[in-house]
Amino acid sequence: MLANLGEKAQAAKDKAQQTAQAAKDKAQQTTQATKEKTQEGAGATRGVASGLGQSLKESAQAAKDKTQQTTQAAKDKAQESAQAAKDKAQESAQAAKDKAQESAQAAKDKAQESAQAAKDKTQENSGAARDRASQMGQSTKESAQAGKDNTSGFLQQAGEKVMGVAQGATEAVKNTLGIGQNDEDKDHYPNHNPRDY
Residue 162 lies in a domain: yes
Position 79 scores a pLDDT of 93
pLDDT of 45 above 80: no
What letter would DSSP give residue 111? H
Position 3 scores a pLDDT of 62
Q: How far apart are CA 197 and CA 194, in angstroms?
A: 6
Residue 163 lies in a domain: yes
Listed residue (108, 112, 131) closest to 120, CA to CA: 112
Residue 197 lies in a domain: yes
Residue 90 lies in a domain: no
What letter would DSSP give residue 107? H
173 contacts: CB under 8 Å, gap ≥ 6: 179
Position 197 scores a pLDDT of 44
**CA 135 to chain centroid:** 54
Which of 49-53, 74-78, 169-173 has maximum average pLDDT? 74-78
Residue 136 lies in a domain: no
Residue 166 lies in a domain: yes
Residue 139 lies in a domain: no
Domains held by the chain: number: 1
Residue 176 lies in a domain: yes
Model confidence, pTM: 0.32
185 contacts: CB under 8 Å, gap ≥ 6: 192
Torsion angle of C-alpha atoms 17, 18, 19, 22, degrees rounded to 10: 120
pLDDT of 152 above 70: no
Position 96 scores a pLDDT of 92
Residue-range definition of the domain harbouring residue 157: 151-197
Position 180 scores a pLDDT of 52
pLDDT of 168 above 90: no
Q: What is the share, in percent, of the chain residues with pLDDT greater than 90?
A: 25
